Chains A and B, each alone.
Chain A
Amino acid sequence: MQSYDKNFLMEVLENLWTVRKFEECAKDSFLKGEIKGNVHVCLGEEGAVVGANMALKPSDYIAVSHRGHGHCVMKSKDVDHAMAELFGKETGFCHGRGGSMHVTKLESGLLGANGIVGGGIPLATGSALTSKIDGDGAVSVSFFGDGATNQGCFHECMNMAAAWKLPIVYFIEDNQYAVSVNIHTVVNTETLAQRAQGYGIPGVVVDGTDVLAVYEAMSTAVERARNGEGPTLIDCNVYRFTGHYVGDPAAYMSEQYLKEAHEKDVIEKFKAKLLEEKVATAEEMDALEAKVAAKIDEAKKFAVESPAPDKSGVLDYNYSMDNERSVAR
C-alpha cells in the first residue's frame, strides 16, 4: 500500500462505495417495485469491479455480463443516466430500451452488459480484433462469471484471441455460483485459471476481496495485451452477497459461504488497511461515504423524475436504415 499515493487510494475507496451504494439502491428500488424485470447486483464483488476498471484507460473497451451495473458505473462515470436506464427512462443510456441487463455507453468504451451468459465474450474479442487491425493501442476486456467459462464461445474466443495475440483480457468474476450451481460440481480443475494452459496463455488467480491485488494483476494483464503479447485469463475469486437475482431466496448458498463473504467484505478490509497504515482517518472515510450516498440519492431522484420514453417511439431503433419499412413488413 505504501507505493500508492493517498489520492489514488481515496479514489479506490470512493469507487468501492459508489458501486456498493449504486447496487444497494438498485436492490432496494427493485424490492419496492420501482425497478421492473430482473436485476442482478454485484454486491460483494466490488473489489473485482473497481480494481480491474481502475487499471484501464478511458480509451479501452469493456463488455460485461448480466451482473454489470458496477462496471457500467465505473466505465461511464455517470450514475445518473445509468440509474435512469435501470428505471427504464428516456434519459437512460439506452433510452429505456435495454434496462439492467443491457446497459451500454459506447462513447465511454462500454460495449454493453449482456443478458446471454457468455454473450459478451465474442463481442469483446471482436473489439480486440478491431484494435489489432487498426493499431489503436486500446485494450478490450471481457468480464463474465464462472458460469460463462462453460459456454462454447469461451473456448472458441480464448483460442482465437490466443492464436492471433489479440489485445484482450478475459476476466472471470468467480463467485462460485452459476445461478444456483456451484462451479466445483461442474468442472474438474482446481481453479478456472488452469484453463488458460489449454490456450498457451497466462492464467492468474487473484483474491477479489483485495482490491489492490486485483488492480495489480489487471495492470500486468493489460500491459501484456497492450504490448501485443496477447490475452491473459484472470480468475478473480469473489463472493456474491445475494442470490443470483434480487429476490432470489438463495437457499442453495451455504452458511459458510455467506459467513466468509461478509468476513472478507472488500470495503471493510480496505478501510481497515487505510486506517492501519494511517492513510485516512475514520472521519475522512465516513465523510467520503456520505458524499457517495448523497450522489446515489441524487441519481435515484434523477431516474425517478425522468420521463418514460414516448409510446410513439416503440419501433424506433429496430433498424438504423429503412426502419419503418423493415419493421412494418
Chain B
Amino acid sequence: MIRKVTMIGAIREAIDEEMLRDQNVIMLGEDIGELGGPFGSCKGLLDKYGANRIIQTPISEWGFTGISVGAAIRGKRPIAELMYNDFISVCLDPIMNQAAKLHYMTGGQVKIPMVLRAPCGTGRRGAAQHSQNMEALFAHIPGLKVVCPSTPQDAKCLLKSAIRDDDPVVFLEHKLLYPQKADLDDSIETIPLGSAAVRREGTDLTILTWSRQVNFALEAAEALAAKGISVEVVDLRSLVPLDWDTIQKSVCKTHHAMVVEEDVLRCGFGAEIAAQVGDELFDELDAPVRRVGALNSSVPFCADLEDEIFPNPDRIAAEAEKLMKE
C-alpha cells in the first residue's frame, strides 16, 4: 500500500514496528513519555510499551546517552533521542570515546547496537545553538555510522536498518523535513545503510547531496534543465558507509561533480567527498569538483540573515552554471 506520511510520522512508525519486532529495542530521551517526544517521535508509545521501554530521562544528556551505551553492551538495542543534534556538546564522550570505540578496543567482544537520533538543520530560526548540522563531526569518528535521510520512506526504512545494525548509528533528521508528507510504500521493509538513491537522472552534472539539500538540489536541477543543463541528483542517504559505487557511476557518466551540503563548508563532509572524487576519478572530470555549503559562520537568529547562510536552489543553480562554464 502506498500512503502519504510525514517524516516524523514515518520515524514514529519505524520505532513502533521495531519495538514490536524486538523486545530488546528500548528508547531513552527527554520528554518522550506523556508528551511523546519534543517533535512527536514517540506519540502513543509509552502507553503501548510501558515505562520500562520508553524511558523518559531527566535533562542529563551525558548520563542517558552513556546509559544507552551501557545497555547496548548488555544486549539491548537502545534508541537515544537528543532533542537537537547541537546538544552533542554535552554528551560527546559516550558517543565518541565509548560507543564508537568499544567494539575495536575490546577486540570485538563488545557490540554497541545503538542508534543516536538527533534533529538537525538550519532554517528554523533556532539561532546558533539549535540550527547546526553536525554530520561531519560524527563521520570523522571511526566506529560510527552516519545516516541523513531526506524522505519519509528513507527515514522509516533506514531507521529500521539502523536499529537492526550491530554498530552505533547516528541518525540525523532535518527538523524542516519532519512535517513534509510524501508517498510511503509499505511493501519496502528496510533500506540498507550505504545505498545512495538517484533522485533525478541527468547527463551533464552530478550533484551529490543529502538531507534537506536534496530537495533544493532537485529544484535547482529543474531550473537548470530549462537552461539546457541535465543534472543527476544523487541522495547519498548515509555518509558512513558511503555508496562509492553509485557516486563513481554517476560521475563517470556526467564528468562533472558538485557536492551540496547544509553544513558549513570548511571541513564539511563535502570536502571529503570532493577529495575522494578528485583522487580517484580525476581523469573522468572535465572540471574541478565544486563544493556548495553554508557560510563559515555561526547561524544567526534573524530570518533575513539566516537565509543568507545556507545553500538554496538559486545559489545551487548559479554555482552549477559556473561549474559548467569552466
Contact = CB atoms under 8 A, between A and B. Distances in A.
B89 interface: no
B74 A119 contact: no
B64 interface: yes
Given A123-B98, A130-B71, A329-B244, A160 B104 contact: no
Interface string B222-266: 000000000000000000111010000000000000000000000
A163 B111 CA distance: 28
A8 interface: no
Which size bracket describes the interface of B in this complex?
Answer: 35 or more
A133 B63 contact: no
Given A111-B70, A122-B69, A127-B71, A320 B111 contact: yes
B42 interface: no
Interface stretch (A89-97, A205-213, A217-225): A89-97
Nearest to A323: B167
B105 A119 contact: no
A316 interface: yes
Given A116-B93, A122-B94, A126-B72, A321 B105 contact: no
Main DSSP-derived SS at the B contact region: mixed
A124 B194 CA distance: 32
Interface in B80-134: 90, 93-94, 97-98, 102-111
Residue with the greatest number of chain A CB neighbours at <10 A, chosen from B53, B67, B165: B67
Nearest to B76: A130
Interface in A59-105: 61, 63, 92-98, 102, 104-105
A319 B143 contact: yes
A110 to B, nearest CB: 10
A92 B72 CA distance: 23
Contact of A104 (B64, B66, B110): B110
Contacts of B66: 119, 121-123, 125-126, 153, 157
Contact of B106 (A106, A157, A321): A106
A114 B101 CA distance: 11
A129 to B, nearest CB: 5
B142 A133 contact: no
Interface in A187-240: none
A127 B107 contact: no
Chain A: interface residue count, which band?
Answer: 35 or more
Contacts of B102: 104, 112
A4 interface: no
A128 B55 CA distance: 14
B208 interface: no
A259 interface: no
A326 B74 CA distance: 24
The residue in B62, B107, B142 that gathers the most chain A C-beta atoms within 10 A of its C-beta is B107
Contacts of A320: 103, 108, 111, 166-167
A321 B98 contact: no
A160 B60 contact: yes
Given A119-B98, A121-B66, A61 B107 contact: no
B142 A327 contact: yes
Contacts of A127: 70-71, 73-74
B250 to A, nearest CB: 16
15 contacts: A94-B105, A97-B104, A98-B105, A104-B102, A106-B109, A123-B73, A126-B68, A126-B74, A133-B26, A152-B62, A153-B62, A153-B66, A160-B67, A317-B104, A321-B167
Interface of A: 61, 63, 92-98, 102, 104-107, 111-112, 114-116, 119, 121-133, 152-153, 156-157, 159-160, 163, 316-322, 325-327, 329
